[in-house]
Amino acid sequence: MGSLLEPGMLVRHPDQADWGLGQVQSVVGARVTVNFEHAGKVVIDSKRIFLVPVFGH
């Protein structure tokens, strides 16, 4: 999934709904850095966690 994500995209974490909406900051290999509304910047391993893209927000 990481290869489908790019900086600026909006995403949600499938297991952490309370983190709110996140914006992808960078993608380096499988490492995706996301800035979430209520959790701040988090580095996600896209091989383990499949972020859910948000369209039309």
Q: How far apart are the C-alpha atoms of 57 and 46, rounded to whole Å?
A: 22
Cα 38 to Cα 3: distance, rounded to the nearest angstrom: 25
What pTM does this model have?
0.90
Question: pLDDT tens digits, residue range 6-56?
Answer: 999 999 999 999 999 999 999 999 999 999 999 999 999 999 999 999 998
- E-assigned strand segments in 1-57: 10-12, 22-28, 31-36, 40-45, 52-53
